[in-house]
Chain A
Amino acid sequence: MTTNKSYYKNIYNYEHTPNLVLNKNFKLQNGKMLQKANIAYQTYGKLNKEKSNAILICHALTGDQYASGINPITKKKGWWHDMIGKGKVFDTNSYYIICSNVLGGCMGTSGPKSINPLSKTFYGINFPEISIKDMVKLQYELIKFLGIKKLFCVVGGSMGGMQVLEWGINYPEKVKLAIPIATSFRHTAQNIALHEVGRQAIKNDFNWIEGNYIDKKVVPEKGLSAARMVAHITYMSEKSLSTKFGRNKRGFNNISKIFSGNFEVESYLQYQGSSFVKRFDANSYLYLTKSMDRFDLSEKYNGKLESVFKNNTCKWLIISFTSDWLFPTSESRHIVSALNANACKVSFVEIESDRGHDSFLLKVPRLYKILRGFLIGGKLQ
């Protein structure tokens, strides 16, 4: 099979800075300890004297700390490049923006592609199981290190939104504004099922080798690419696929090429899959999807989500999108109801967009307007 040296240069040998290494053991939710845990991050703008202008941005499953500017791995603009910068929604003239790679990720933060400091080998699937709560706990270490007592705002979409929820619940006194976007308080059976398809694709790739592919200098690219293709469909809507591709074909009718993908939507997905494997680690994908699947804020309270928000003091803004079928508005409404049940400060908007779950990454004018307004309002008190 293919050995892809370029992947190694990109994903496995790049040094991401800045990178905070903890000088103590990091205890995970499942009780296990992580030695010398580290967290890679990026910052934009300047922290003010009072250290009161910090906004933590939490990335989604396949996002990373390069929220703005040019991503050194993909050489493309950051995933929220249009949102972060001078005069933009998250205005770096007035805010200090922090974005870190999640625990279990593959862009410099401790994860399955890191070297285990004890055995000096790649963790692979010997990396301990991690939770969304663990990701947030590690971010909290970073915030402490940066000397920030209270974050002005924590914001993120999808898996990033799950982190925002954990922030607001576990560290309410450290968060002024909490904005979970296009997310849920737990994964549904459908969410889990879709993730499982992706995981199976990776694990059944000949090159996965029980997770030890890095040592063997191969990449389970077919599996990871298939996983990405399935996931990518769930990030779009039927309408956005139809509008973009319809039933358009790429103009040939060669019988020998019958399965090579002559619908435009097929080649688009293949492209999405193949570009993804150049920037993402397959084991990370397994770990992160699992942490999302295990995520359920109401579990501890026998399904009573309202118990989670008892006496919560954060100011919340919940945002959903009309065409998001992966994290539909009904999920956000559950969160709103649970906050209402505690008479918490909550705002909620459902934004019209026909671009599916990915709407939170796209230039949706009302999203920009709502976020800008909420930040202005948040400064008033």
Chain B
Amino acid sequence: MMKNGRADHYVITKIVKKNSRILDIGCADGKLLHLLKREKNASGQGIEIEHDKVEVCLQKGLSVVEGDANKEIISFPNKCFDYVILSQTLQTVERPKWIMNEILRIGKKAIISFPNFGYWLCRTQIAFKGKMPVTSDLKLHWYDTQNIHLCTISDFCELVNEMNFVIENKFGINGKKVLSYPFNSFLMNLFASHAVFLIKNK
């Protein structure tokens, strides 16, 4: 399953229980929704802002609302999804705290993935080159990137605690390798280029 797919998609597919109802915020071409539908018989809904990606979703038979997630999610009622997925999006939104509150209002659980700024390659680029990092997870230069709220795994854990949510599971990802929860937190923050968190309300 993992041969061709993205490691974070693999992890998310592992997390999601069968027959769940899912909202994927920033669902792009619907790859993840499609995967979850196939592997977990999940019924899904996506939100995507880019026209051509929306068109691809429709062709795949996925339901997708074209628009800005910040505006769309407020119309959903409380707890209408089993999981709300925010994949590689948190770092691009204007108000990360607000959106986290919103997704845990409309979803029973939230799956959030983001690039880890604490990854050693980021640290060394800043420390030794004195430059903003460019890695496989942070492909674009600072002037081109949409990432406006970058954080490390430690930063994110702190925020989750501060917001009174519970981390049910967390995974570090490096390339195609999954570094799972028992892995030492300090080491995960150093070696994961990317993280996936499963969080819920207390």
Q: Is B59 an interface residue (CB 8 A)?
A: yes
**Docked-complex contact A347 and B65, CB < 8 angstroms:** yes
Interface centre among A342, A346, A349, A378 (most CB of B within 10 A): A349
**Docked-complex contact A349 and B63, CB < 8 angstroms:** no
Per DSSP, are chain B's interface residues mostly helix, strand or loop, or mixed? mixed
**Interface-facing stretch out of B10-18, B50-58, B121-129, B186-194:** B50-58
**Interface-facing stretch out of A134-142, A209-217, A221-229, A368-376:** A368-376
**Docked-complex contact B66 and A345, CB < 8 angstroms:** no
**Minimal beta-carbon separation of B2 from chain A (angstroms):** 24
Contacts of B64-85 to chain A: CB distance below 8 A: 64-67, 72, 75-77, 80-81
Among B59, B66, B72, contact of A349 (Cβ-Cβ < 8 Å): B66
Indicate with 1 or 0, residue by residue over B72-107, a CB within 8 angstroms of chain A CB atoms: 100111001100000000000000000000000000
A-B contact number at CB 8 A:
67
Q: Is A219 an interface residue (CB 8 A)?
A: no
Identify the closest chain B residue to A379 (Cβ).
Answer: B61
Contacting residues, chain A, for B45 (C-beta < 8 A)? 343, 345-346
Contacts of A40-95 to chain B: CB distance below 8 A: none
Cα-based distance from A378 to B66 in the complex (angstroms): 18
**Docked-complex contact A317 and B77, CB < 8 angstroms:** no
Contacting residues, chain A, for B76 (C-beta < 8 A)? 340-341, 343
Cα-based distance from A350 to B64 in the complex (angstroms): 12
How many residues on chain A are close to B (CB under 8 Å)?
26
**Minimal beta-carbon separation of B106 from chain A (angstroms):** 9
Instruction: State the B residues within 8 Å of A (CB).
Output: 21, 43, 45, 51, 54-67, 72, 75-77, 80-81
| Leading 4 A-B pairs by shortest Cβ distance | A377-B61, A337-B75, A380-B61, A343-B80
Jot down 25 A-B pairs with beta carbons below 8 A, ordered by A: A316-B63, A337-B75, A340-B72, A340-B75, A340-B77, A343-B45, A343-B76, A343-B77, A343-B81, A345-B45, A346-B45, A346-B63, A347-B54, A347-B57, A347-B58, A347-B64, A348-B65, A348-B67, A369-B55, A373-B55, A373-B59, A376-B58, A377-B57, A377-B58, A380-B60
